[in-house]
Each structure stands twice: as C-alpha cells, then as structure tokens.
Amino acid sequence: MSQQNNIRAGIALMIAATVVFALQDGISRHLAATYNTYMVVMIRYWFFAVFVIALAARAPGGLKAAAQTSQLGLQVFRGVLLAVEVCVAVFAFTVLGLIDSMAVFICYPLLVAALSGPVLGEKVGWRRWLAIGVGCVGVLIILQPGMGVFNPWAIVPLISAFLFALYGLLTRYAARKDSAATSFFWTGIAGAVAMTLVGMWFWEPMARADWAWMLLLCVGGVSGHWLLIKCYELAEASAVQPFAYFHLVWTAIIGISIFGEALRAEVILGAALVVAAGLFTLWRERRQG
C-alpha cells in the first residue's frame, strides 16, 4: 500500500479510530454483562471476517493473493491469539470496569519493547529498559499489590496486554515474508473460525434491542479497522501512534458517564507513568528508525 505523508490527516484518523474503539469497548461491556463473552466475540468476528474477505477481494490478485502465505501455521496462530486476547479483554471489562482495565492494558507497548529481544532478536538498550521499569511502576501503582485493596481480577487486563503484545511481535515476525494484507486476511479468518468452534456451544437468545447494539458493535469494529488502515496509509506509524493513547481518555469518559465508574487518583498517576514511558519508547524507536 502506497503511503503518503499527511501527518495531520493521519492524526485525525487515529483519534477518530480511538473514539470508535472506546465506543466498541463500552458496547462490549454492556453485552458481555448479559450474554456469554464467547458468543459476543464470535458474532463480532463473523462481521470482521466478512470485512477482510471483501477487502481482499477488491485488492490486486483477489482472495488468492491475500491468502497465499509460506507460514500458514504462524498466521493461524496469530489470528487465534488475537481472538483469545479479545475474549480476555471483554471479560476484564465486565469484572473490573472500563477505566481500570484500560489503565492496565495500555502498558502493552512496553511489553512489546521488552519482548522484542527474546522473540525477534532485537537489541533493547538501557534507555528502553528504564522506560519499561517506569511503566511497570505505573502498573503497580494502579494494581496496588500489598495495600490490602488489591483486586485479583486486575491481573486479567495484564494478561490481555501480554497477549496483545505477543500478537504484535508475531505480526512483525510474519511481515518478514508476508504482506500486511495477507496478515490482516488471516487475522480475520483464523479468528472467526476459532471463535465459531468455541462460541457455538455458548449460544443464547438475545433480546431485539441488544441485537441492535450487537450490530453497532460489529459496524464499529469494521469502521475502526478501516480508519486505522487509512491512517497508516496517510502517515507514518511513529508519527500517529502516540495519539492512540486517546483511547484511554474516551474509555474513561464512557466508564464514568455511562457505567458510573470512579476515576481513582492512583489510576491517574499510574496511567500517566505508563503513557509517559510508552511515548518515550515510541520516540526512541523513531530516532533509531
């Protein structure tokens, strides 16, 4: 895909994508509080699979070109891994709330930096390790272990962040041989197949009003991915990635205004440290790049 260099438009699209994804998180929490998480994620993946198939069909070479890969096992594993991560993230929303879940989850760029050495063989310097350490301190402030108020469910979004970081690293590894279009295609197809094999055993009737929310959730998922694709077409990832942290802002607004969640002082402090460490890591990557 040919990339332009319109940073302002790229930033606008990234912020728009974070709004869509935050709304998607809120709807996911609403539905998963009433219905089985596996069923909700399964239906969401059905729409995602239709989207990637339609996108591949319109691309040069069609479906055959998009599906062609010399590392099928890796691509399928990536897709299944992301589906598992989505299930864990949605479950975290129901047991911990949107704000606390997202405050912990945003540490994933630091996990990517930490795991890039053992997984990809990349060199991680002392500055990045220092940023990772600061981010870990931020996560500990949010979790408050040993303070008598630690919620064991807080480990769930941390697991989600680890899975998403591993997915991101495997995507980088797959990019050494496959195009972004191929990886995107197998992400949707493998995830949809995996979730169907699991979710069909947990099917339950859904109220008509909730089907409307489900439709909005699916459309939001497709729209969010489309916005990201256009964003990365217009601007370099290093220029727009810092604005992905707006996701936390919109999620906090939804959590407070709709679900009545509280924004604790330690969450604000911890999230600020995590975001600062993440932005420093992105800045280092951009300089070295």
76's CB contacts (< 8 A; 6+ apart) are 186, 190
Asked if residues 118 and 53 have their Cβ atoms less than 8 Å apart, the reply is no
Select from 270, 283, 287 the least CA-distant residue to 242: 283
Does a structural domain hold residue 2? no
Does a structural domain hold residue 263? yes
Number of domains in the chain: 1
Does a structural domain hold residue 144? yes
**Helices 98-105 and 265-288 sit at what angle, rounded to 10 degrees?**
30
C-alpha pair distances (Å), 176 with each of 124, 126, 169, 269: 20, 26, 12, 38
pLDDT tens over the chain, length 289 residues: 444 567 788 888 888 998 999 999 999 999 999 999 999 999 999 999 999 999 899 988 899 999 999 999 999 999 999 999 999 999 999 998 998 888 888 888 778 777 877 776 767 676 777 777 777 777 777 776 555 445 678 789 989 999 988 998 898 888 889 888 899 999 999 999 999 999 999 999 999 999 999 999 999 888 888 888 788 778 776 667 777 888 888 898 999 899 998 878 888 888 888 888 777 776 766 666 5
What domain range is 252 assigned to? Answer: 7-288
Classify 104 as helix, strand or coil: helix
Does a structural domain hold residue 1? no
**Helices 7-32 and 208-234 sit at what angle, rounded to 10 degrees?**
160
This prediction's pTM: 0.85
Asked if residues 49 and 187 have their Cβ atoms less than 8 Å apart, the reply is no
